[in-house]
């Protein structure tokens, strides 16, 4: 990602691979939030390989988030509607996957009815 060092920006970095292993094993939940690490808004393409790797690892343990209230971003503060549109595009408009990440997984994690 742009704000990280070159080695940290690689999806093959050992630290990220550890996250993927924990995710694959169902030992962690991950909130898909692109705006904190990326400097490349509004499309955040530098974050997409990480997003794709996590979906491939275990979509049953992912949640989507805007990171609202978006403090300390100044001029980099994104449009929330654009973030929802971006999530829709990155999830390939797959309704089942979107329901999982937006509704079913948060309900499972937080213990409320979907």
- Residues with catalytic function: 67
Crossing angle of helices 48-57 and 80-90, rounded to 10°:
50
Let me know: does 98 contact 61? Beta carbons within 8 Å: no
Contacts (Cβ under 8 Å, ≥6 apart) of 20: 53, 54, 57
- State both tokens at 42: 């509004």
Torsion of CA 47, 32, 78, 9, to 10 degrees: -20
Token look-up 């990480």 returns 50
């Amino acid at each position: 990602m742009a704000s990280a060092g070159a080695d940290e920006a690689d999806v093959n970095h050992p630290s990220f691979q550890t996250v993927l292993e924990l995710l694959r094993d169902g030992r962690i939940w991950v909130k898909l939030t692109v705006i904190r690490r990326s400097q490349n808004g509004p499309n955040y393409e530098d974050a997409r390989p990480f997003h794709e790797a996590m979906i491939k690892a275990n979509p049953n343990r992912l949640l989507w988030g805007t990171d609202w209230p978006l403090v300390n971003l100044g001029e980099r503060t994104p449009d929330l509607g654009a973030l929802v549109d971006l999530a829709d595009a990155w999830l390939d408009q797959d309704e089942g996957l979107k329901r999982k990440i937006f509704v079913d997984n948060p309900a499972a994690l937080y213990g409320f009815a979907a």
